[in-house]
Amino acid sequence: METIVLIVLAVLLLAGLALLIFEFRVRRPDALVLYEANGKIGVRRGLFYPRHFSLPLKRATSPLQLTVEAGTVGNLVVRVKLVGSAGPSVEHISALIRVGGWDSEAVARAVDQVRILLQALVKEYTERTDIGAISSPALQKHLNAHLRQIEEQFGIELISLAVQSIDPVDPKIAEALRQQEAARLMEQTEQLHHQARVVAARAKFKADEEIAEMEHTLELKKAELGKAQFQSDAELARQRIEDELARSRMRLDFEKEELEVLRRSPELLMLTPQAARLAEASQGLKNARTVISLTPQELANGSALFTLFRNLLQKESEKSDEAGSDGAITPAK
């Protein structure tokens, strides 16, 4: 009996294990596992999930390519090509299930609905715009303004969306537009070149003006420096002249004092450096003679120098006479 119970338990255990293996699956990292509870859609975060009570959706992005032929003002048809990529929006997963259904192809069906909406948006833009005013940036701005609406309404996040090209269906219109665009670009280029030349000319004029102002300032500084140098040289010359005059006055005063001393004491004339050098030179010569030249006016007026030498000669003559008289009397004794 116990053996039968163990066998039954083992069978039940194996059956439960097989049921778990059959029912539960491992959640892949690139998948969203959805479940429904109380009328709301939720996302399972665990590693395992029951496959009969869950809906796995791939989170991989889906390519989006769309070609739209739409009319413009004047019933001119243009061909617009859009490219991008889309993926499920986790924040608005309920809208995704509502549009795409409880199915693994929900994302693809929702993307198809987004294509239809994008086509309508492109036509809305082109129908109220002239063909010459249609541009990729303007259309891109118009589409980007509805991205939030698309995500909330369809549960699809447009990861990227770009306008690939906008071309008229009629080749003649396309060629005319290309020529018009080429002319516009050439005109814009010429305007840019003209602006560049104007800016360069203004810059050159400003630079020349600054250089001229700097040169003028430099010349003024040179003139100021020259004036200061001239004043300094004039001051030095004046000081030099004053010093020279002062030395000349001092020399004149000294000579006056010297003449006054010699006039008072004529015997000091022999002690002057000129007389000393003259005497020294005459001692070295055997037949040296001292010659004193006096003008007739000095002899007639009785100059001090002539008087001095005359007195000196008289004194020397008197001394010689006295010496001769003493020599004549001495032998008589």
pLDDT tens digit sequence for 28-74: 776 777 777 777 777 777 776 677 667 777 777 888 888 888 888 77
How confident is the model over 298-331, as pLDDT tens digits? 555 555 556 666 676 677 667 666 665 655 444 4
Supply the CATH number for residue 77's domain.
3.30.479.30
Q: Is residue 86 part of a domain?
A: yes
Q: Which two tokens stand for residue 193?
A: 């070149």
Number of domains in the chain: 2
Question: Model's pTM, two decimal places?
Answer: 0.50
Going by C-alpha positions, the residue among 301, 231, 274, 60 that lies closest to residue 159 is: 60
Has residue 146 been placed in a domain?
A: yes
H-helix or E-strand containing 157?
strand 156-168
Does 166 score more than 50 pLDDT? yes
116 and 30 in one domain? no
* Owning domain of residue 149: 60-169
Q: DSSP of 2-46, one letter per residue?
A: HHHHHHHHHHHHHHHHHHHHHHEEEPPTTEEEEEEETTEEEE--S
Give a yes or no: residue 121 inside a domain. Answer: yes
Q: How far apart are CA 315 and CA 318, in angstroms?
A: 5
**Res 333: pLDDT:** 35
